[in-house]
Structure 1
Amino acid sequence: MGIFDKLKSQARNKGKQGSDSAERKMNERTGGKHEDQIDAGQQRVEGQLGMDRDRERPDQS
């Protein structure tokens, strides 16, 4: 794995962590009332950013 592949992988992981953190905070603030809508929104944004592709293939470390 080249250095650019490694940096790209790290950036995706950071983005995913940030997305998950934001989802948890929004669910806490709403008391879980809108969990389904928040999850759908998160998946839509991740899909537009190309982050959903990482879920389908194993990490190539």
Structure 2
Amino acid sequence: MGFADKAKDMLGDAKETAEGLAKEHGDKIDGAIDKATEFVTDKTPDSVDDKVRAAAEKAKDAVDQLEGEPDTPHPPSAPN
């Protein structure tokens, strides 16, 4: 087995682990994203709040894809 095959196997294992963790702890991850969003919007100028919230939604979408639930609507992060 060559280097590329070993790397491919390791990445496959990592993806499976990430999927399992997302399925098991998806709600906690979404909560952490919300807390981080609130913290960042509190510490940065209001002009970047929309960008921060958009990034948070993309992060939640990525978690949903790992959970196997793409296109799940999320409630918007509360504005300050």
Q: Same fold (TM over 0.5)?
A: yes
Unaligned runs of 5+ in 2: 1-22, 66-70, 75-80
Aligned-pair Cα RMSD in Å: 2.2
Which of 4, 11, 29 in structure 1 is aligned with 2:43? 29
Q: Which 4+ residue blocks in structure 1 deviate beyond 3 angstroms?
A: none
Residue in structure 2 matched with residue 17 of structure 1 by the alignment: 31
Q: CA deviation at 1:50?
A: 1.0
Residue identity in the other structure for 1:34: V
Q: How does the TM-score come out when normalised to structure 1? A: 0.61
Tell me if structure 1 keeps the 8 A contact 2:41–2:49. yes
Give deviations 1:22-47, integer Å, cap 9, x for gaps. Answer: 00010011133211100111111111
Unaligned runs of 5+ in 1: 1-6, 56-61
Q: Quick check: which has more Rg, 1 or 2?
A: 2
Q: Equivalent pairs: percent with the same residue?
A: 15
Give deviations 1:6-29, integer Å, cap 9, x for gaps. Answer: x82xx1111111000000010011
> Relative to 1, partners in 2 of residues 1:18 and 1:26: Cα closer, same or farther, differing over 3 Å?
same
CA distance in 2, matches of 1:45, 1:36: 14
